[in-house]
Amino acid sequence: LLLAVALMITAYIVAVKRGYPTEVFPGFRRAFEYFLISIPGLMLIVIIFGGVRSGVFTATESSCIAVIYALLVTLLVYRSLTWKEFVHSVLGAVRTTSMVLFIIGAAASFGWLMAYLRVAPILTDMISQLTTDPLMILLLINVMLLLLGTFMDMGPLIIITTPIFLPMVQKFGVDPVHFGVIMILNLGIGLNTPPLGPVQFVAAAVGKISIWTAMKSVWPFYLVGLIVLGLVTYIPALSLWLPSLFR
């Protein structure tokens, strides 16, 4: 939420400063009509959180429910999905799922090797010799994750680095949820950072501009992302207040 608000404010400032074209506000009545049209889609959020919170289904099962609900709404309510697009989406999902399952299988072997070689305890001892301050340790982890995120994808990085870093930060009293949010923010920034930066390349392809032109245009958003990362890292309450409502 903090990152979303910060990026919206930044986008507004950048748009005004660069003179991007705007649209006329359609009026509250038209805005309310748009809201009514979007209710079936917004109900997906209610179904997921409500179902998990009430115990009707697990978090894993909620993903299946979400797919079925989204498919029904798209086909029957909005009628914006053709069968050709549906088949294309299914094939894309199969390719992505196959890749993720392969990574998980490889990461399981990698995790066993890391445990056998006692990488996590050794790394913890090495960092402990440098500092025992949790804030400094989080700073070092942030730097490492930001660097790794520039040339590795988010999925493999989460699977590979979590077994290494999580036991370490827990030993120094860092909440696992807090660490999880820090990791996601780091890797999210990495998704937009070349040389890998898949999000940046996709955006450049859609806009039909070079990657370097795109990079020059989005640097204010990088700065805001790093500021939010620093706030979340050193103010744990920012990432822990929402999960505490579900306990």
pLDDT tens sequence across 186-201? 988 888 877 767 777 7
High-pLDDT (> 90) share of the chain, %: 10
With cut-offs at 50, 70 and 90, classify the pLDDT of residue 247.
low
Spell out the residues 6+ positions from residue 13 whose beta carbon is closer than 8 angstroms to its own: 220
User: What pLDDT is attached to residue 227?
Assistant: 93
CB 62 within 8 A of CB 51: yes
CB 107 within 8 A of CB 159: yes
User: What pLDDT is attached to residue 26?
Assistant: 79
With cut-offs at 50, 70 and 90, classify the pLDDT of residue 158.
confident
Q: Note the pTM of the prediction, 2 decimals.
A: 0.69
Question: Looking at the structure, do residues 204 and 137 belong to the same domain, yes or no?
Answer: yes
Please give the tally of structural domains in the chain: 3
12 in a structural domain:
no
54 in a structural domain:
yes
User: What pLDDT is attached to residue 107?
Assistant: 65
Q: What's the domain range around 48? A: 23-80
Question: Looking at the structure, do residues 28 and 136 belong to the same domain, yes or no?
Answer: no
Question: Looking at the structure, do residues 195 and 242 belong to the same domain, yes or no?
Answer: yes
pLDDT tens sequence across 97-140? 787 677 667 766 776 776 777 776 777 677 777 777 888 888 88
The secondary structure of residue 74, as a DSSP letter, is: I
Q: Does residue 228 register a pLDDT over 90?
A: yes
Question: Looking at the structure, do residues 109 and 43 belong to the same domain, yes or no?
Answer: no
Question: Looking at the structure, do residues 181 and 126 belong to the same domain, yes or no?
Answer: yes
User: What pLDDT is attached to residue 232?
Assistant: 92
50 in a structural domain:
yes
With cut-offs at 50, 70 and 90, classify the pLDDT of residue 164.
confident
Q: Give the integer Cα–Cα distance in Å for 111 and 158.
A: 12
User: What pLDDT is attached to residue 103?
Assistant: 66
When pLDDT is averaged across residues 61-84 and rounded to a whole number, the result is 87
What are the tokens at 197? 């930066």
Q: Give the integer Cα–Cα distance in Å for 28 and 30.
A: 5
164 in a structural domain:
yes
Question: Looking at the structure, do residues 75 and 125 belong to the same domain, yes or no?
Answer: no
